[in-house]
Amino acid sequence: MVVVIDERRIVWKKCKNCGFLQHKTHLRCLECKKGDFETVEVSGSCKLLSYTILTAPPAEFRDKISYAIGIVEFENGIKGLGQITTQDNLHIGMKLKPIYKKICENLDGKEIHAYVFEPI
């Protein structure tokens, strides 16, 4: 899951005691159980760790027959999950860059924006 603050920055929490990276909703470190964190912003490009092609998208993506979704890892260790802008020539380890854009309209017609990943 990619955590977004101010809708344009991808950030994560890093434990000041052991350095473990985790989602912002956890109150204590999942590794050492301490509660002191710093905010870490992603840096650099990311690489594709795993992906799949969804051929039965949810209703919000009714305009798409299928799309790719993948797990990425940034250069500083932060991992994220998101759509990939293409289904062609995907391979594990390829370099991607995040792009913030409209991904769909929810069932009430409201625009939903998120990061998607585009091959470099």
Residues 72-85 have pLDDT tens digits of: 999 988 888 999 99
Predicted confidence at residue 88, as pLDDT, reads 95
Residue 32 pLDDT > 60: yes
Residues 48-77 have pLDDT tens digits of: 999 999 999 899 888 899 999 999 999 988
Please report the DSSP string for 73-108 in residue order. Answer: EETTS-EEEEEES--TT--TT-EEEEEEEEEEE-TT
From the list 5, 6, 10, the residue with the least C-alpha distance to 117 is 10
Rg of the chain, C-alpha, whole Å: 16
What's the rounded Cα separation, in Å, for the pair 19 and 38? 9
pTM: 0.79
Per-residue pLDDT, averaged over 16-31, amounts to 92
Coil, helix or strand at residue 112: strand
